[in-house]
Amino acid sequence: MARPVWRGSITFGLVSIPVALYSAVDDHTVHFHQLQRGTNDRIRYRRVNERTGDDVGFDDIVKGREVGDGEYVVVEPDELADIAPGRSRSIEIESFVALDEIDPVHFRTTYWLGPSGEGSVNPYRLLAAAMARTNRVGIAQFVMRNKQYLTAVRADRGVLALDTLYFADEIRDPADVLDVDLG
């Protein structure tokens, strides 16, 4: 049996249904290690100061964004923690829309949602059946691994699926990408 990647509840109005989130796909990508030819010893990378060539410890590493030629805005770990969205244990459905109202370009990753605990099976089945019957999806937000996601919760083959969605400002306009006049 697969392990859930997240546990929490689907909530809408006063309803809360405990669920577990599972990846809907298996990654069959082959991952290789780098080895030294002849010895098969694993190759490791060191953290090295680009200018001095000295090794740098984890405690001395910060993140920064380049704002000019060699100029950086440095962000400390505690600053990153302060702006992180925090842990979420609920998928909060904000509205229900028809599935065909969502342009497929917005779909990112699909997960399966399953009931979590015996008491959640009946409410879960009722929600899945109602969503399938009406062809509606729940638009929700939740936080997983310190990242906030916009999602669509929908019925699929008798169960609930959760699709992470791209936000509107992440979608590129074809006119900005394609170098062709289609008019």
Q: Is 30:126 a contact under the CB 8 Å cutoff?
A: no
Closest CA to 107 of 135, 78, 61, 139: 139
Q: Which domain holds residue 150?
A: 6-25+87-170
Q: Is 38 inside any structural domain?
A: no
Using the predicted structure, report yes or no on whether residue 86 has a pLDDT greater than 80.
Answer: no
Q: How confident is the model at residue 8 (pLDDT cuts 50, 70, 90)?
A: very high
Q: Is 180 inside any structural domain?
A: no
**Single-letter amino acid, residue 77:** P
Q: Is 144 inside any structural domain?
A: yes
Q: Is 40 inside any structural domain?
A: no
Q: Is 124 inside any structural domain?
A: yes
Query: How many C-beta neighbours within 10 Å does residue 128 have?
Result: 21
- What global pTM score does this model have? 0.80
Longest dimension (CA), the chain: 65
Say what the pLDDT of residue 180 is.
Answer: 79
Q: How confident is the model at residue 84 (pLDDT cuts 50, 70, 90)?
A: confident
Strand pairing class (6-12; 90-98) = parallel
Q: How confident is the model at residue 182 (pLDDT cuts 50, 70, 90)?
A: low
When pLDDT is averaged across residues 66-76 and rounded to a whole number, the result is 91
Using the predicted structure, report yes or no on whether residue 144 has a pLDDT greater than 70.
Answer: yes
Using the predicted structure, report yes or no on whether residue 1 has a pLDDT greater than 80.
Answer: no
**Single-letter amino acid, residue 180:** V
Instruction: Give me the number of domains the chain comprises.
Output: 1
Using the predicted structure, report yes or no on whether residue 10 has a pLDDT greater than 80.
Answer: yes
pLDDT by residue (tens digit) across 94-134?
A: 999 999 999 999 999 999 999 998 899 999 999 999 999 99
Q: Is 99 inside any structural domain?
A: yes
Residue listed under structure tokens 């600053």: 79
- What is the residue-averaged pLDDT of the chain? 93
Closest CA to 127 of 154, 102, 88, 152: 154
Q: Is 30 inside any structural domain?
A: no
Using the predicted structure, report yes or no on whether residue 57 has a pLDDT greater than 70.
Answer: yes
Q: Is 63 inside any structural domain?
A: no
CA dihedral 53, 54, 58, 63 (to 10 degrees): -40
**Lowest mean pLDDT, pick from 32-36, 38-42, 55-59, 84-88:** 84-88
Say what the pLDDT of residue 183 is.
Answer: 66
CATH number of 158's domain: 2.40.290.10
d(Cα 73, Cα 65) in Å, to the nearest integer?
5
